[in-house]
Structures are given as C-alpha cells and as structure tokens.
Chain A
C-alpha cells in the first residue's frame, strides 16, 4: 500500500496549498471563503475515496470473491440479479458539472445589468411616486432595460453554450461493448450495463470495461499509462502480487487498454466508483481558479462602478444642494449610474472571445471554455508533455553506425531525404537485415496512403524499421517474398534478440541467411567478425572499442540502439531441405558477422523547435514533464530547444570542469533535469527555488501526480500556467492549471473533461498559435473596451449638464441604449479582427497585477480626453439644432423646469415664438437624434483611432481590417434607419433629422483623429518618457 497514499496525499496537501496561496497571493477576495466551505465536502470526499481504496478484492481467492459478490465464476450473474444491481447506477463516469465555470465572467457583467434593472425599476417606482403625468415613458424604459438584460444574458449564454456543445459532440464516445457471462451464456452488452459481480472476458485491443479482478489470464498485458503513467505494458495474471491494489497484477482498471492476450475477470467496481472514476471526480473537486480574463473583467467592473457611483453621489449632493427635491435627486443618481453601464459590452466580449475561439479551432485548438481563449495569451509557463506533444509519438530511425561511421537519418515527419551514404556494401547487408529480421507488416488496403502514415501491425521499433526500409528500399514485402523465411525466433526479454533464417534471393546461392537484431552488447557477444566496407574482418580490440564509443554516443543522445548481425549458413551443413527447429536451436548462434548499429528515437515534431523559440522570445518558460528516462528527455529537450544549445545542467558543468556534481554551484547552471525521485525528496521551498532559478527545466521520470505539484509550484511563483496532459491522472493537474490543455488524439475523456482546451492535433506548436491569438485578443479587448468606454462620457455629460445648467435633456435613455446596443456593437466586435501592432510574440507575458485590461491611462484617456471631446462635439450639434429651431443657448439655460411642464403650452423661445409641450417634446427628440448622430459620427473616428495604441493608423493600414469598415457602414446604416426609417415611431424617440446636422460633428471627429495621432506620435518619439507612461494604455 505505497502508491495509493501518495496519490491522494498530493491532493490533500494540494488543498492546503490552495488555502495558503489564498492568503498569500490573494488573487480573489472570496475564494478563501469558498474554499473553507468546500473543504469540508472535499475532505469528506477524500476520506471516502481512501476508505473505498481499502480494496482487498485482490487478496481474496476466487471462492471468497464469489461469496462476496454473490456470483458464480462459471455461470456469471443471473439477468434478474444484474438488473437489480444496475439500479445502483450505470457503469459510466458522470461528466463533471461545468455550469459554474461557464458563467463566471458572464456573471460579472450580469451584475452590471442587475444594477441596471434594479435601478430601472427603481426609477419607474420613483416616477409612479411622483405621479408624473407620463409614466408611460418610464414603463418603456423599465421594459427596455429588462429586455436588454434578458436578451444579452441569453445571447452570452448561447455563445458560451455553443462552444461547450462543440465539445460535447466531440467527446461523445462510441458506446463500448463488453463480453459478459450471464445466465451461463456469453453475451455482448453495452459496457454501461455492467454491474458488480459480472464475469467479463477481455482480449487484446479491448478497453477494460470496469475495475476487474482477474480470474484467469493468457499472456494478458495492459497499458496502464493513463492511470499510473507507466508507459511500459504491464502483464496481468490472476496472482496476488502486491498489497497495493494499483500495483498488484490481478486487477485490471477501468478505461485502461488490454494490449494483448486474453483474460477473464470479475467486475468489482463500476462507473464513478472505479479508481478512474474517483480520480476524475477528485479532479472536479480541485478548485476552479478564476480565469485571468474574469479577474480583468471584475477589475473593469470595479473601475466603471467606482466612476459611476462616485459621479452619481457627487451629483446627488450637487442636486440636493441646488434644492432639487430628494426624490428627483435620486432619479438623477439612477440616471447617472445607468448612463455609465456599458450595456453592449457583455455581448461584445462574448462574441469577440467566441470569434477567437473559432479562429483557434481552425488552428487545431478547440476551446471548451471561452475565457480560456485569453488565459492562453497570458500564460507565462507551459508544462508540456513530451510524448506526442513535443515529439511525433512514433519511433523513427535517427542514426546508423556502420563502416566505423555514424550516419544521420532524416527524422522529419515525411522522411523525405535520406542523405547518408548508401553506396557501401555494408549498407546493403544492413538493409537486408533490417528488412528481413522484422515481423511488422503494413495493414492491407493502404496503397494510396504515404508510407509514413500507413498503419502497421507490430511494435514501435519494428514499425520504425519497416517504414525506414520501405522509404529507402521500396517494396519491403516484395523483398521478404523473395527471401522466404524458413525459421524465426521472436524477440523476448530473456534473449534480447530476434532472429530469422531466410532463403536468399540469389538463385545461385543455395545458402541460408541468418539475420539477427537485438540489444547491441548481446549481439556483439555473438559476433566474431565485423563487416567494414563490405568485407568481413575479425573483431579485434580496436573495432570493439569503436563499437562501444558509437554505442555510448548514440545512447547518450537518448536513443534506443539496436545491433544487427548476420551469418550465411554454409550450404553443405545446411542443405535446402534442412529443417530448422527453433526450440532445440539446431543452428549456430555465435561467430556471426556484426554489420552495424541503428538507433531510434521518438523524434521531435519538426514544428516544435520553432514553436519553442517563439515561446522563449515571448517570455514563456517551457517546462518539459515526462515519464521518460532523463537522458532521452534531455536529448529531446535539447533538440527542440527547451534546453538551449549553450546552456548547461549541473551535470554538464561537472563533466566539463571534471569535478564532482556536488562541487558545482547550482545557480551557475541555467538548465536543470530533475527526476521524479529527486522531486519527491524536495521540500516546497526547494521546488520553488528550483523553478525560480532555472530558466530551462526538464522533469523526467515523473508520475502524473507530480505534475500537480509542479503546477502548484509554478502558480506559487505567480505564473499563469498552461499544462498539457492526456491521461486520467493528469486531470487534477489540468484542472489546477490556469489553463489545462488536453490532447485530442491521445487524450482520455477524463483529461478532455478536465481541460479548458483540446489540442486536436496533439501538437505543441498549436499551443503557440493559441498563445498568439490569446495575446491578440487581450490587446483587442483593450481596444474594444476603450472604444466602448469613450462614449460613456458623451452619454453621461448631457445628463450632468441637464441637472446643473437646466438644459432640456440632450439625449434620452432609450437613445443611449440604441448607441450601446445598436450602432456600437458591430464596430466593437470589428476591433477583434484587428491585426497585432507589432510582433506580440516578442514581448513578455503580461503581468497579472500590472498589465491590466483596463488601466488608469486607458480610463483617463477614454473618459477625460476622447470622451470629453466627443461630448463637446455632440453639444455643438445639440446647440446648433436648438438654435436654428429657435432656442438659443442663452434661453435654454435654466429652462428645464418650464420646458418639461405639460401644462405650459405657450413657452416662448428666443424669437418670441410660442411652443406647445408636444412641439417642445418633438424638438427634444430631434435633439436626441442629433446628439445620437453626433456621437455616432465621432465614434467612427474613435473606432479608427482605436485600431492602434502606439503605431500611426497609417502604419497599421487604414484598410487592412475590412471588418472595421463593415462596422462603420453598419453604424451609418443603423443611424439612417433609426432617423429616417423609424422617424415616425415616437416610442423610440427618433425624428427625421435635417441632412446638414449629420455633418456638424465631422470636424470634431477629425479633431479626435488628429489628437490621437499626435498622442501616438509623442509616444513613439519618447518611448518610456512621461508622455508614454501617462498616455499609453
């Protein structure tokens, strides 16, 4: 019982860590509280799991088992009993609940609308209390606000749900079938219907349908990698070999695969009660961190709410001191707060994120959780798997050694150019051995598929050799046909070699050819000669030394080395009719001729080194976490650049300086290779130090559980951590990570469930494109928010002026909603299509606390610069309209009270004309429309200036982003429709506006553009200067 406590103690201490970091980092206010509540539940859960893991089924004899589960090994359960047991629940994992995570950001923004709604109804109430003669408008307002809240809420939910649905359809599995004995009959049933006590049969290739105790086994091997991380196949028998249920050989686990052989077993746990099920449910218990974008949105909400409430209160006080009735003042307060709420933002942000999610899906990053789109962009550490993610996940011939020379083979994805010298006789012999001493075959019916993509029956090394020879020599099967195989000894772990005897394809040569491959040292033992340049030479000290040097060198590269030798059996001793007996070995297996060495590796994907370089220039630390051997891990890390060419580990330094490892100053080494064993002995502080002080780290021989420790370590450093994983055991780490990335091809469902993102092609390079998109979206969201915030001032100022100066209201609430949810929506989404201003992959990841989405310069510049200019422009249009219609500004000041009296129907204007209330009302709406148009026109300029934050628009290209122009067109068209199409619908408060008023604000739009160009010019001129610090957002 050694391994089990480890797994769960990780989790236990993990919880503690969470609590600590809570107080430490204090990223969120409420998490501590939440954790305290959930800890009870979680601890219970863990206790429960621990109890259940006191599994002793593996210790029992089959009779005892039969008794315990009320079943019979020969006849199985009765159908009736099975049906009864099935009532406990089907044999399937419950998908973890996603809803809570789904809405974190949405909830943030919804709070906003909540305020909106409450205030809306509040204002309605106040108006009712005031017995205003036209509560109808207020009913409208309330209804419109409610509608806005509901619609945008539904819309955001729909957007989120859509992306989750992609996932749902994606993860839908083909129902598994299980062969079960019931009522003494073999039946095939969906594995969901299995119950405890069922007797199931499994064979090679099957997924084990539940946790089973093996009752009989014939050469059964299972792949437990998804559970324990051991990548080697494990044999399974019915013997009890270990106290720990995870270690003992007589238990097979749900969702692992049986690689070969057959076995019969009794189901001892089903569904969520299986080990895998428990781990998966544990994963859902790991606290969900708020995503960085949710934190940013929260921060943004705080800022806007702060501004709104403080302005609201200031003006409440002003209104009261101006002797407005308190009730009116409250209404003003409400109005100010409502004007500050960016109603369109929820829709915009969700659409923007889902657009990026779509774009990323095209690049093979399937985003499950919309917010994760941005998280990837702020990632500062990527903990990546090796196999399959960094590498191609297939053995490939990397080096050859013959004629005392090492040759390099092409390991790229298509093996296109094998450039080593193929003229030597030795190569011809070696090629023959490679071709013949190989049991792997292509599956039939793949003629049209390129060689490297063909499916092969056989193990990884043989596959590599088959493909290698197929690429170089052409049709391997044809060669094999010509050299008929007469006898064969397959590879096994005791012999450590594989041997076969063939007829030769030379009709004149009646000799048999014996070919052999295996562990180099074992092969060399059997040889007495070595082939150099096609000539057999005796194997002397010097050639043996050359062999060892080559072997060590290739081994040092982390490659799997195989030796090859052959022997032509003399025709007189072994005539054509000779019958070879592989059991008695009636043929020589020594004094062979050594031909060469060949080494294989799972080579890195060709796109990965580039991607790693990109990560490095983007300031992202890539940490490799693998279960593989340190040497292999280091070799791959070197070849992809995770350990860069000129950096050394402690061991390297020791070797170079020829001193003991202990003497080396640990901090001199940039790189570090840490094994799981070392990691186990480290304290938390040591791990933190390690992570902080080495820029290039490889963790080798780690168990998936240790991944969680590593992730937590990184998070303690304040990093945003992305983790890749495929196994079930990775799921806690995937959950714990800021962004969990599951492998689409190799990944288990549990991993995909726990992850925020699924890499469809399992390729590390796709993560980097994801990072790029994520960073771009952060920049573009900044622009979108700046754009959205700007007009808030232009919407707010009228109200303030209305209160203080007593002008007729320049713009109404409904009109404001038409800007927020009408004209401004498409343009703000269009900013999501903006290209990056500079190479975003050349800067450091943003700092969680310092590079905020909405920072002070952004808010100040939007509110106090552009926003104010916009308001002024809009007021000029307002005054133009009123003046030309008869009310000059001097008359307007303080006119509010008289203006709004319904009983006054002969109000005098500046020319002595008298207006009825409705005529004034209509003029007021004309004013609304004019103000609306003015804001719209200036928002076009705002949209254009927001395209860049630093570069000139002309550097960025005015027409590169076509969607911006679609946005501008949409603004104009919506405004035209509202003004001219719906002009007669008074409910919307729009009127037909004279054509010339559309152009009054144009000079201000140009002014805004020019001002912003000047701002950007000074930022570029004095980078880092005062202006840059205060004006760059």
Chain B
C-alpha cells in the first residue's frame, strides 16, 4: 500500500536530494521511534483519495495495522523495515564493533591494573585523616536502654561479644606476635611478603572485655563502648606520641558525665600497631581498641558525648565529616 502512495506522489515533486533517499529503499525511510508518526502520516495519505475523512476508530485501526506491518511485513518479509538479511548484516557489524570495543577496554583495564599495586593503594589522601567508629553499633549512635529491662540492652552485649571474638586471648596468642610496645612494628621486605600482626588481646580491655562482667556494664548502667580508629595503609602516628582518646559531654552540662574509665588505661592506640600493610599481606591485623567505661553518667536524660582522637596528624574538627577524628553519640540510660 505505502509503496504505491510513495511512487504515486513521487513524480509530482522533486524530493530527496540524495540517491540514498531513493524511493526503492524503503528501509531507509523509517526512523527511530518514528513508527507511530509514520503510520499516522500514511493513514492520512490514504485518507485522501476517499475524499471524506474517516471515522476516527477506523484510522486508529489503520494505524494499528500499519504499525503491525512495520513490525512484521509478511509481503516483504521485513521486520522493523529491515529484511532478515539486512538484520543479520547489521547485527554482525554491531557484534564486531562492540567486540573490538570490549577488547580495547579489556586491554586498557589490564594495563591499568599492571600499573596499580595490589598491596599498597596508589593514593591515600582521600582516606586520611583517619575516621573513628564505635562498637556496639546497631545502625544508630543513640544508646537508649533501661537498666532493669535486659531486652533493651541485650543486643548491645551480643554485638560486643561478637565483635570481640577476634580479640580472644587464645586466638591472638595463636595467630599474632607479641611485639614491643611504644614503637612502630616495621616489617621491611617485599611488599608481597606476608606481614605479622601484633596481638591485641581482649583482656587488655579489663572491665570492658566482657570477661569479668559479661554484660559489659550495661546491667549496672555503666555501659562500655569500644572505640576503633579506621585502618589506613601506611598511617603512622607521631613517634612517642600515640593517638589518645578523650571523651566529654558534647553539649550541655560538663558534669553529666562524672567519670570515664579508659582501657587500656593510657587511652591511646599503641605505636606497635602501626603501620598497617594492607589486608592482602597483613592478614591477621587486629585493629587496636580503646574502651570507654562510662561509670557515672546522669541517668534518665539524653547525654550527648563526643569522643575525640588527639595527636599529631589527627584532625578532629572537619565540619562536614562527623566521623573524622571524632565520634558523637548519645547516652540515655534509664533506671
């Protein structure tokens, strides 16, 4: 149908300035996302010889038919205005084009990884200065619990117990070495050599180790919270000046927290845990922890606490990032 129309209209007016727009090449006359419009046009062209406009339902039906014909034209054995041969040709071409593109990309990525060490990150400036996280952590930094209702704090205990499994004394003694405190544990050698890790035993955390008080003080309203500094490959605190932790009330009355015990008592991360060599070689590395034991906190009231790292190379006042060098959480202990 449509070809007839085309050819009938063809001689009346000079069209298409290129051979490629030749009437015989139906394939080229259909454009992307154009089916509907084409169909409409055709429908209207068809409407002319009959003179009067046709009822809309009819034209819709025609449109549908033309659409259908566009999708599959049994006469010409064409789908989407391409014959099977044309389709296979175009698919083959695209296949080769994309295959070679994929090859190019593979080669590029391969060369990229040749230049990047798997042991040491190329740059670490985005991950410095170190961030801080606390445990227990359950999606929220607000510790609300009722001392007399174990259900409200039981999950903290479970979380802490789970977290500290890797710090069990037996495990640490078995896997890691006891290295001298107060100095870096530097291991020279090839970067692909396995590195040893220093022990950080659960027992270092004393009252907060959960060994003596399996509820980590939650049952007595004296919760333990563990603080851990984010690992950064190659990060070294200042020699002789380990990174210290200090907590205070962030906003409000200073006296809301009357005493905090830190374990280890130095409230610092010992230098022997640095530097970190990356997880590929430093397999058994255990992050050092500092436990804060809030032994005397005002009850039945939200107390915002800010724990900061202090030391050379530590920044704890980035406005946008509340986890770099500090951590803020609230305690609301009900009795």
A914: chain B residues within 8 A (beta carbon)? 127, 130-131, 133, 230-232
Q: How far is the CB of A313 from chain B (nearest CB, A)?
A: 13
A912 to chain B: which residues have CB within 8 Å? Answer: 231, 233, 276, 278-280, 282, 285
- Chain A residues with Cβ under 8 A from B11's Cβ? 692
Q: In the complex, what residues of B have CB within 8 A of residue A3's CB? A: none
Q: Which residues of A contact B228 (CB under 8 A)?
A: 906
Say whether B139 faces chain A, with CB atoms less than 8 Å apart: yes
B235 to chain A, nearest CB (A): 9
- Interface residues as binary, B116-130 with A (CB distance below 8 Å gives 1, 0 otherwise): 101111111011001
Picked from A299, A380, A913, the residue with its CB within 8 Å of the CB of B232 is: A913
Does A718 contact B13, Cβ atoms closer than 8 Å? yes
Q: Is the CB of B321 within 8 A of A849?
A: no
For window 113-156 of B, CB contacts with A under 8 Å fall at 113, 116, 118-124, 126-127, 130-133, 137, 139-141
Residue B177 is within 8 A (CB to CB) of chain A in the complex:
no
A380-B14 in contact given A911-B279, A912-B278 (Cβ < 8 Å): yes
Which of B14, B94, B285 has the largest number of chain A CB atoms within 10 A?
B14
Report whether B48 and A23 are in contact in the complex, using a CB–CB cutoff of 8 Å.
Answer: yes
Residue pair B32, A856 in contact (C-beta under 8 Å)? yes
Q: Let me know if A12 is at the binding interface, CB within 8 A.
A: no
The answer to whether the Cβ of B187 comes within 8 Å of any Cβ in the partner chain is no
A848, closest chain B residue (CB)? B15
Q: Which one of A719, A868, A886, A1026 lies within 8 Å of B121 (CB-CB)?
A: A886
- Any A CB within 8 A of the CB of B91: no
- Give the distance in Å from the alpha carbon of A440 to the alpha carbon of B180 in the complex: 122
A-chain residues with CB within 8 Å of residue B233 when the two chains form the complex: 911-913
Q: Is the CB of A1032 within 8 A of B20?
A: yes
Task: Return A810 CB to nearest CB of chain B, in Å.
Answer: 15
- Among A380, A850, A923, chain B packs the most CB atoms within 10 A around the CB of A850
* Least CB distance, A169 to chain B, in whole angstroms: 38
Is A885 within 8 A of B121, CB to CB? yes
Give the residues from 185 to 235 in chain B that come closer than 8 angstroms, CB to CB, to chain A.
228, 230-233
Are B16 and A850 in contact, with the CB atoms below 8 A?
yes
The answer to whether residues A879 and B109 also contact, given A23-B53, A868-B101, A912-B233 and a CB cut-off of 8 A, is yes
- Asked if A918 meets B318 with Cβ closer than 8 Å, knowing A26-B43, A885-B121, the reply is yes
Structural contact, B13 and A380, CB atoms closer than 8 A: yes
Residue A639 CB within 8 A of the other chain:
no
- A846 contact set on B, CB distance < 8 A: 17
Residues 841-878 of A, flagged 1 when their CB comes within 8 A of B and 0 if not, give 00111110111101110011000110011001001100
CA distance A365 to B126 in the complex (A): 59
B324→A918 contact, CB < 8 A: yes
Report the bound CA distance from A788 to B277 in whole Å: 47
Q: How far is the CA of A923 from the CA of B321 in the complex (A)?
A: 13
**Chain B residues within 8 Å of A492, by CB:** none
Binds A, one of B21-29, B245-253, B254-262, B300-308: B21-29
Contact assessment for B321 and A918 in the assembled complex, using a CB-CB cutoff below 8 Å = yes
Interface residues of B in 280-321 (CB under 8 A from A): 280, 282, 285, 318, 320-321
How many angstroms between the C-alpha atoms of A303 and B34 in the bound complex? Answer: 7
CA distance A923 to B130 in the complex (A): 15
A915/B127 contact (C-beta < 8 A), A25-B44, A905-B323 known: yes
Q: Contact partner of A307 among B33, B101, B119, B279, CB < 8 A?
A: B33
Contact indicator B44/A24 (Cβ below 8 Å):
yes
B13 contacts A23, C-beta separation under 8 Å:
no
Contact indicator A883/B112 (Cβ below 8 Å) = yes
Contact A913 B127 (CB under 8 A): yes
A919 x B321 contact (CB < 8 A): yes
Asked if B171 is an interface residue, CB under 8 A from chain A, the answer is no
Looking at the complex, which one of B25, B34, B112, B282 makes contact with A302 (CB distance below 8 Å)?
B34
- Contact status B33-A306, CB under 8 Å: yes
Q: For the complex, is A957 an interface residue (Cβ under 8 Å from B)?
A: no
Is A26 in contact with B44, judged by CB distance below 8 angstroms?
Answer: yes
B13 near A916 (CB under 8 angstroms)?
Answer: no
Quote the shortest CB–CB distance from A714 to chain B (angstroms): 9
| A1028 lies within 8 A of chain B by Cβ | yes
Distance in angstroms between the alpha carbons of A906 and B327 in the assembled complex: 12
A986 within 8 Å of B (CB atoms):
yes
Q: Establish whether residues B14 and A844, one from each chain, have CB atoms under 8 Å apart when the complex forms.
A: yes
Q: Which residues of B contact A849 (CB under 8 A)?
A: 41
Tell me which residues across on chain A come within 8 A of B14, comparing CB atoms.
380, 619, 844-845
* Contact across chains for A911 and B17 when beta carbons are under 8 A apart: no
B175 at the interface (CB under 8 A from A): no
Q: B30 — nearest CB in chain A belongs to which residue?
A: A856
**At the interface, yes or no: A880 with Cβ under 8 Å from chain B?**
yes
Q: How far is the CA of A889 from the CA of B324 in the complex (A)?
A: 25
Cα A1007 to Cα B105 in complex, Å, equals 12
Asked whether any CB of chain B lies closer than 8 Å to the CB of A42, the reply is no
**Per-residue contact bits, chain A 716-728, to B (CB 8 Å; 1 contact, 0 not):** 0111000000000
Binary CB contact string for chain A from 681 to 706 against chain B (1 if under 8 A, 0 otherwise): 00000000000100000000000000
A884 touches B (CB below 8 Å): yes
With known contacts A844-B17, A886-B127, A923-B126, A913–B323 Cβ distance under 8 A: no
Whether the Cβ atoms of B108 and A876 lie closer than 8 Å is yes
Residue of B nearest to A21 (CB): B48
- CB-CB under 8 A from A1003, the residues of chain B are 108
The 6 closest A-B pairs by CB, nearest first: A912-B279, A26-B44, A306-B33, A844-B17, A916-B131, A918-B321
Q: List 22 A-B contacts (CB under 8 A).
A: A24-B45, A26-B40, A29-B40, A307-B33, A718-B15, A844-B15, A856-B30, A884-B121, A888-B118, A903-B137, A906-B230, A909-B121, A911-B233, A912-B278, A913-B231, A916-B131, A916-B321, A918-B318, A918-B324, A922-B126, A1023-B19, A1024-B20
Known: A888-B116, A912-B231, A1003-B108. 18 other contacts (CB 8 A): A25-B44, A719-B13, A844-B15, A852-B31, A855-B31, A884-B122, A886-B127, A903-B137, A903-B140, A909-B121, A912-B276, A912-B280, A913-B121, A918-B322, A918-B324, A919-B324, A1023-B19, A1026-B89
